[in-house]
Amino acid sequence: MSEEEQSQNEQIRVSRARKRHYQSSTEENTMTAVTMEVGKENVNTKSAEAGSTLMQAKKIVRDHSIFSAVPSLVPIPLLDSAAAMAVQLRMLKKLGELYGVEFSKQKVKTIIASLIGAIGTGAAAGSLVKTVPVVGMAIGVISMAVSFGAITYAIGIVFVNHFETGGTFLDFDLEKGKEAVKSSLSN
C-alpha cells in the first residue's frame, strides 16, 4: 500500500473513532436525559397518585351521595333511613379500602349514628311525613332525597379529610366530626 492510501485509511479510522466517540457521548447524554425524565416521572407519579386517591375518594362520596337519595322512595317510614345508613356504611367501607384503613362495621355504624344524631331529629321527622296520605308521600320523598344526599355527602367529606391526614376509624374524634358535619350542612 502506498503512503497516500495509508494516510487515507488512517483518516478514515480517525473519523470513525471520532464518530463512535461522538455517538457514545450522545448516547450517554440521551441516557442521562432519559434517566432524568424517568426520575421526574417518578416524582410526578407519586404526586399524581396522591391526587388520584383524593379524586377517587371524592368520586366515591359523590356517587354514594347520589345513590343515597334512592332509599327516599321506600314508602315505609324509618326503613328509608335504615337503607340510607346502609349506603353510608358502604361508602365508608369503600373509602377505608381506598385509604388502606381497617374497617369495623360495628364501629362505623356507631360513628354514623352519632353523626346523624348530631344533626337532629329532622331526618326522622321527614321520614314520618310519609304517613300522611298522598301529599305526605310526595313531600317526604323529595325532602328525604335531598336530606339523605346532603348528609351522606357531609359524612363522606368529613371522612375523606380525616383519612387524608392519616386518620383511621379508631382515632376518629366524634365531637370534631359532629361539628364538621353540622358546618358542612349549614353551608
pLDDT at 29: 46
Rounded to 5°, angle at Cα 117 from 71 and 126: 45
- From 93, 74, 86, select the one nearest 140 (Cα to Cα): 74
- What are the backbone angles phi and psi of residue 41, rounded to the nearest 5°? -65, -40
Question: What gap in Å lies between CA 114 and CA 94, rounded to an integer?
Answer: 20
Q: Write the CA distances from 153 to 35, 99, 102, 106, 147, integer angstroms.
A: 43, 18, 21, 21, 10
Question: What gap in Å lies between CA 171 and CA 108, rounded to an integer?
Answer: 12
Along the 187 residues of the chain, how does pLDDT read in single tens digits?
666 666 666 655 554 444 444 444 444 444 444 334 444 444 444 455 557 899 999 999 999 999 998 888 877 777 888 888 999 999 999 999 999 999 999 999 999 988 888 776 555 566 666 677 777 777 777 778 888 899 999 999 999 999 999 999 999 999 999 999 888 888 7
- Residue spans of the domains in the chain: they are 52-186
Q: Which residue has the cell 382515632?
A: 171
